[in-house]
Chains A and B, each alone.
Chain A
Amino acid sequence: MIRSAVVILAALFAAALIVAFLDLPPAEIDLPAAVTANMAISGVDHPVTAVLLNFRGYDTLLEIGVLLLALIVVLAVAPREEVAAPLVASAADPVLQTLARIAVPLMLLAAVYLLWAGAHQTGGAFQAGAVLAAAAVLLHLAGLLPGWSAPGLSLRGGLAAGFLVFLAVAAALLTEGALLQYPPAWAGALILLVEATLAVSLGLILAGLFLFLS
């Protein structure tokens, strides 16, 4: 009874949405033109990176803050152990370990490339951080990296560095004018600094979301 009511209501809602989508007039604000007009002062060549780290940098700052918060809650809720989790004994497969040992340096290289290429083409801090996290998860599943327990000082520093560096840059710019308004001569260098720390921090946070639970 409830099932059929929910399904029928859901279908009606989907139909209403589709009818609304098909009826939309063209947009009044032309955002791609506005972004292209301001690319010269943004400090990078790729529009998505410019939007992510310059025009809408505040959103990215809050996003890395949210990620750090999620990791802190995971650390608080996950069951604590006194000693680090043992290596995954069942994964001592020589083929998988050899593959992991070959693939991980290449993944690190790919991550650095994606970070650097983000200024001119597709890429950026998030893709680089995701590849770093995938490398850590691969190492763990191959039995080469033990699961993480309570983080030590250097790991805590790495996890928080992205957010703190971004916040420091934003606060330093606040003294000059608006929040996160890069001076055009410094924009490229500042974006690279923020992106590099963001990528490392993001990789550690995403890897931690998986490894702190193992």
Chain B
Amino acid sequence: MSTGLIFACGGAILFVMGVAGVILHDHLLRRILAFNLMGSGVFLVLIGLAQRGGVPDPVPQAMVLTGIVVAVAATALALTLARRLFALTGGYTLPKDGDE
């Protein structure tokens, strides 16, 4: 079990926890948290599998660097939309089916 493989397996479990969190939570902020966990899990899988032989690989490292910055931009955008929803409805949950 090399370092890369351990963190790749950890990343897979993180991703799955994030997916379950996005599906099961109602509060939008918790969904955004779970979405970030999904992203971190994917990054760990990318680097962990690429470096499972123990040799540092610069190409997936550059891709994950790009990914982290894009993830923070997506999170900021999601939070802006959530705050807009809060300003309009007073809460951080989406209206259920059957509401107007």
Contact = CB atoms under 8 A, between A and B. Distances in A.
B65 A24 contact: no
Interface string A1-45: 011001100110110011001101011000110010000000000
A31 B57 contact: yes
A116 interface: no
Interface residues of A, number: 44
B9 A21 contact: yes
A133 B20 CA distance: 32
A176 to B, nearest CB: 24
Contacts of B52: 24
Contacts of B74: 70
Nearest to A12: B16
Interface centre among B52, B62, B66, B69 (most CB of A within 10 A): B62
Interface extent on B, as a size class?
35 or more
Contacts, number: 105
A165 interface: no
A30 B15 CA distance: 27
Interface string A32-69: 10010000000000011011100110011001001100
Given A48-B61, A79-B84, A32 B55 contact: yes
A3 B83 CA distance: 27
B68 to A, nearest CB: 8
Nearest to B13: A14
B77 to A, nearest CB: 5
A24 B58 contact: no
Interface string B54-91: 01111101110110011011101101110110010000
Nearest to A13: B16
7 contacts: A13-B16, A21-B12, A52-B65, A55-B59, A63-B66, A71-B73, A77-B81
